[in-house]
Amino acid sequence: MRQPMARMRPMAEEPWLDETQQRAWRAYLAMSKRLSTHLGRQLQRKFDLSPQDFEILVNLSEVPGRRMRAADLGRATQWEKSRLSHQLSRMERRGLVGREAVPGARYPEVVLTEQGYAAIVRAAPTHAASVRAMFADVLGPELLDRFAEACEAISERLEEHESDPC
């Protein structure tokens, strides 16, 4: 399987990534594409939920009252406000969440409906099982720790540059 973003030499002259780097980069790209495809497809086909739906549902289900201000939900998911707003509108249309005005407060709260709660309770165990089967169990505890360290290191590096002008 060819992984195009991995080949950094459209003119085949300078080796912008060496052998080791190429291999790792291509392996990572292939793996992450497959993993998200697999998990997303499973959620969609078995539970009629997109990964985005799932993420919102999980966050709401964890909090007491199953309700939250949109801004807090945005912080929890690290989503931009407009993305969140669009997503909530779609989910509201489908009856998974509701937006309810709060008497004294300026902004309404997003609430998990019964239907939304039922959906997450149905889907979560299978999803977790897949994460174990396709990810955690493949590496095992020790490797998993090293893998986590690697991810954290890259994350930190990226975080440093988050405010760069690019």
Partner DNA sequence: AGCCATAGGTTGACGCATCAACCCGAGCCC
Partner DNA sequence: GGGCTCGGGTTGATGCGTCAACCTATGGCT
Binders of DNA in range 129-158 (CB under 7 A): none
Binders of DNA in range 74-93 (CB under 7 A): 74, 79-90
Contact 42, 36 (CB under 8 A): no
Task: Point out which span in 31-39, 84-92, 101-109 binds its own copies (CB under 8 A).
Answer: 31-39
Site string for its own copies, 80-119 (x = CB under 8 A): ----------------------------------------
DSSP code string of 62-117: TSGGGEEEHHHHHHHHT--HHHHHHHHHHHHHTTSEEEE--TT-SS-EEEE-HHHH
We find the least distance from the C-beta atom of residue 125 to its own copies, in angstroms, to be: 6
Q: Take residue 23 and report the two structure tokens written for it.
A: 């291999």
Judged by CB under 7 A, does residue 98 bind DNA? no
